[in-house]
Structure 1
């Protein structure tokens, strides 16, 4: 049975200034307020897949809300209200043009760079003799540019300062916040029997104050390993058991799709869609330690619209 999912929204609210549709989120601006709707769209290899995944938006929105609440003593965040399982409202911050990626382990892009023979990533030197998924001597910050279209690009601290993308004083603060947030995320993951491998944070300014924005510590923005048998798997040269959306990428790769021109997207059958949905719900429960309560999605578009109107007194 096909479950209802939110592919996109097309609201026209009173007082709405701007509308922006990202790969996953629909964003409505009202003066200095931002309304971010987490749709059920799913992307991989910078491509939005043709079918939405039921409850995916709720999973991401509610995980982000939990972790933003749990880290607001470290850095203030943009959120003022979460009026619906798929909606977050907050300050319309001026976004810094860099994403702060932090890595505690040699995985993903960092491993692919290392495997190619390079020993420097974003200006950070990496030691010799490391294997895939090894723990790094200490977490490293490997920023990327924030691309509106196409791929984000690696950039070093020196290049960020040289290009004047962020002032030195503010960049030092962003680094401090990034390390402290990663430490908190690592501690929270450990309580769930997980390892926070790498993640990214985005920051913005509102009234001359730095805020943490967007989502944090979700399976779309972070990679987790299961702590159980981590050492054993490393010693045996086995792949680590991951908790991320890597399983979606793997399915696409196995079916000959990596986002390149001329490649055909594999068919997303109802069974495959439900399987991905179940995996996202499992991710929520593993990361938060809480049971997932499915929202009533039968009249989803109406529910979201009413909750936004009530929250903004429209």
Structure 2
């Protein structure tokens, strides 16, 4: 079986019954179910949501995004074999662990297939909740250039690259473009302080000011739960991004939940502990792929400079990457998923047909 056949590269063309446009993101596609199908499934499956809650089918792909572009390999390899299933398996594992530890629920109601989640509509908090245990990446680059304040938090002098921070840092940034907030530029992904959030909690989609402390608690405790579990399999949880939102349960109570994905190699940096203790950084995350791209092209500034986005998009469109590099990142995703979950990720020979079959037979959602 050719790796190209095992890849789900296009995930927005499934014949799932919907009366709204399919929302296709960098990696996932979202199919909003009809009101009739949402109500039927809530009743049939006993989901703990309001009877009229809108539901969606979220289908992950094997596409790989880095530096805001989608990349492909030679020979029609338009994604990374096993990546989608590995990301979902890791997220599912952490969401369950959060529940077991009494933290909070997620937006996922059901998992019909390794590539598929049935989710409820959430009101998203407009914050990328970033948590850092080590100084590396963009924070280190800024620190090296003399910055000492991040999201209103002062860092001491004398920190060293890739070393543990004095404390777990929460450095939130905006999710999307937020308008009319004092001191917050109208741009995606700009750092904000706790003070900014407190003074404009409604603009960030918080229902009440006390939920700011709750999101911080869920972020810190979620980080610790994952960090401890990764430590048990000789991995270091370096930094990560969580997202939060609000949903209502069957009784109409609003609750803050985890959403999107958590603790995956796409949303986090994960280092091999043994290598780190020997003075080496071995990335078990997408960071290794980013480093490959920076070394692969003669002018890495194209990938780092947001003013050169047209050139960057052309670079991704015009260049098929070596198959061995795509397979390297495939091995990284599959290996870390196996370490986290304790189970082997089995690659499907025809993921699209499998998804159609299960959604037809068990959920009656295929026309």
Question: Separation in 2 of the partners of 1:220 and 1:74?
Answer: 22
User: Does the CA-based 8 Å contact 1:8-1:26 persist in structure 2?
Assistant: no
Residue in structure 1 matched with residue 340 of structure 2 by the alignment: 287
Question: Separation in 2 of the partners of 1:192 and 1:8?
Answer: 34
Aligned positions, number = 307
Question: Separation in 2 of the partners of 1:75 and 1:7?
Answer: 32
Q: SS in structure 2 opposite 1:130?
A: coil
Question: Separation in 2 of the partners of 1:95 and 1:181?
Answer: 18
Residue in structure 2 matched with residue 214 of structure 1 by the alignment: 260
Provide the TM-score with structure 2 as the length reference. 0.78
Identify which range, 103-112 or 158-167, moves more after superposition.
Answer: 158-167
Residue in structure 2 matched with residue 161 of structure 1 by the alignment: 198
Among 257, 278, 284, the residue aligned to 1:243: 284
Residue in structure 2 matched with residue 21 of structure 1 by the alignment: 24
Residue in structure 2 matched with residue 267 of structure 1 by the alignment: 320
Residue 306 of structure 2 corresponds to residue 304 of structure 1: no
User: Does the CA-based 8 Å contact 2:133-2:168 persist in structure 1?
Assistant: yes
**Consecutive unaligned residues in structure 2, runs of 5 or more:** 36-53, 73-77, 178-186, 249-253
Residue 69 of structure 2 corresponds to residue 47 of structure 1: yes
Question: Separation in 2 of the partners of 1:137 and 1:85?
Answer: 39
User: Does the CA-based 8 Å contact 1:2-1:270 persist in structure 2?
Assistant: no
User: Does the CA-based 8 Å contact 1:285-1:292 persist in structure 2?
Assistant: yes
Question: Separation in 2 of the partners of 1:222 and 1:64?
Answer: 12
Q: Deviations over 1:132-165 (max 9, x none)?
A: 11111210100011127x8522111111222331
Q: Deviations over 1:145-203 (max 9, x none)?
A: 1127x852211111122233134211111001111101101110111111111111111
**Consecutive unaligned residues in structure 1, runs of 5 or more:** 234-238
Q: Deviations over 1:103-144 (max 9, x none)?
A: 111111221221111111111111111101111121010001
Q: In the TM superposition, what is the alpha-carbon distance from 1:232 to its structure 2 partner?
A: 4.5
Question: Separation in 2 of the partners of 1:3 and 1:267?
Answer: 13
Question: Separation in 1 of the partners of 2:173 and 2:130?
Answer: 7
Identify which range, 273-282 or 211-220, moves more after superposition.
Answer: 273-282
Residue 58 of structure 2 corresponds to residue 56 of structure 1: no
Among 134, 152, 170, the residue aligned to 2:211: 170
Among 191, 206, 213, the residue aligned to 2:232: 191
Residue in structure 2 matched with residue 3 of structure 1 by the alignment: 4
Q: SS in structure 1 opposite 2:219?
A: helix
Q: In the TM superposition, what is the alpha-carbon distance from 1:74 to its structure 2 partner?
A: 0.9
Alpha-carbon distance change, 230 to 247 in structure 1, aligned in 2, over 3 angstroms: closer
RMSD between superposed Cα atoms in Å: 2.1
Question: Separation in 2 of the partners of 1:243 and 1:295?
Answer: 19
Residue in structure 2 matched with residue 236 of structure 1 by the alignment: none
Residue 139 of structure 2 corresponds to residue 102 of structure 1: no
Alpha-carbon distance change, 18 to 206 in structure 1, aligned in 2, over 3 angstroms: farther
User: Does the CA-based 8 Å contact 1:96-1:204 persist in structure 2?
Assistant: yes
Provide the TM-score with structure 1 as the length reference. 0.90
Question: Separation in 2 of the partners of 1:182 and 1:269?
Answer: 35
Among 38, 57, 74, the residue aligned to 1:35: 57
Question: Separation in 2 of the partners of 1:303 and 1:16?
Answer: 23
User: Does the CA-based 8 Å contact 2:29-2:58 persist in structure 1?
Assistant: yes
Among 164, 174, 181, the residue aligned to 1:135: 164
Q: Deviations over 1:13-48 (max 9, x none)?
A: 334444211111111122521221110110000111
Alpha-carbon distance change, 240 to 272 in structure 1, aligned in 2, over 3 angstroms: closer
Which of the pair has more CA radius of gyration? 2
Q: SS in structure 2 opposite 1:228?
A: helix
